[in-house]
Amino acid sequence: MKITYGSSKTGNVSEALRNIAEPAALFFSVASEDMLEKAALEIEQAFPGVASIGGVGQAYIGKQFFDAGLTVIAMKENIKVAADVLEQASVMPIKYIRRLENAVQAVGGERGKTACFDICSAGADVRAVTTLSDYLCRRGYDLAGGTSNSAAVACNGKVYQDACAFFIFKNLKGKIKSYKENIYIHPQGNEKQFMVTEANPKDYRIRTLENETAEKVYTSELGITRDKITTQTFKNPFGHVCDSDTYIVSIKGVEADGSITTFRPANKMDFLTILSMGDYREVVQDTIARIRSELGGASAVLSINCLFRYIMFSDEQYWDSYLAEMCRSFSHAGMVGVGEHYNTQFVNQTMCCLAFE
């Protein structure tokens, strides 16, 4: 697959599309939700019938980062693509499962060579990921994607509220695999797990861990005060232990009753651990090496990076180096999102991607 791009700081669609020709798919991002409808419509008018999805967030292509206006990532060569949308994504996206089935059928889904990349409305992740993965993963099709920083997403020229827009890709020249990158680890010698004993998943609220308030457990373990909790998550997020893997749960806030709110729900009887930041430079190199090893050199990588990762990497003055490292190894592009999707899981503070052989 080959990636090209265009951008406009003012959101001018003609300017952003000036150097794009014969795309098979278009993934676009805008700086604010009020720009979404115009961009979606004009992109469809410029390339009628070409699969397109879009959302709100910053974008990156190669070494360049875009945080204003409109950015369009165009994909072409050796791929077949279909795009559609699951509506009512936070309520009942399963009603629209036929659209997903039809998209897979349209590209001629084939195990190992077919995958889904999605962008969903904020707050719709749990049911969207469950619906997508239940169909895809049982058939051997990977999933990667994330969350728009808005209540709306765009698909094929239209804007949808509370929805999940998706691409179904088929690689005509090789494999497609999904990857996630976790830069957090269990503190050495301390893999203590805490059972969630009271929670309200609908409000993304953890009330108690091991029958103590979540605030007390978190602050006691880290030796910090209550006012440090919301910034400490950059270094010490929760991790949801699931089988042999750990999925990151970012902290959003702390409530008067000692509850902690998060950006991903936790359920009663879940086991959480408190993670520490690892050597992120080494982790990035490990991810690159793994993709090279498993795909024998990838032609392109399409990714979603968490907003918190972007903020942390920027604070560490590593973001530009991160983009350069990825660009040195692959044709790399994607968007900064407010949640990430990896096969069956909705995660936080993670990079998730599709890599094309």
Annotated domain spans of the chain: 2-181+281-356, 184-277
The Cα–Cα gap between 109 and 26 comes to: 20
pLDDT single digits (tens) 30-53: 999 999 999 999 999 999 999 999
pTM above 0.85, yes or no: yes
- What's residue 245's pLDDT? 84
- What's residue 143's pLDDT? 98
Mean pLDDT confidence for 332-353: 97
Mean pLDDT confidence for 151-178: 98
Q: Which two tokens stand for residue 338?
A: 């407010």
| Residue 319 pLDDT > 80 | yes
Residue with tokens 């949640």: 339
Residue 106: CB partners within 8 Å, gap ≥ 6?
82, 168
Q: How confident is the model at residue 300 (pLDDT cuts 50, 70, 90)?
A: very high
Q: Which two tokens stand for residue 244?
A: 């042999």
The Cα–Cα gap between 153 and 283 comes to: 31
Q: How confident is the model at residue 190 (pLDDT cuts 50, 70, 90)?
A: low
| Residue 189 pLDDT > 70 | no
pLDDT single digits (tens) 219-266: 999 999 999 999 999 999 999 988 778 899 999 999 999 999 999 999
Coil/strand/helix, residue 34? helix
Do residues 100 and 86 touch, judged by C-beta distance below 8 A?
yes
Mean pLDDT confidence for 92-117: 98
- What's residue 297's pLDDT? 80
Residue with tokens 């690689």: 171
The Cα–Cα gap between 39 and 313 comes to: 29
Pair type for strands 238-242 and 271-274: antiparallel
| Residue 8 pLDDT > 70 | yes
Residue 351: CB partners within 8 Å, gap ≥ 6?
180, 181, 287, 303, 304, 305, 306, 309, 340
Residue at 254: amino acid letter: V
The Cα–Cα gap between 41 and 54 comes to: 11
Coil/strand/helix, residue 262? strand
The Cα–Cα gap between 52 and 340 comes to: 19
Residue with tokens 């791009």: 5
Mean pLDDT of the chain: 96
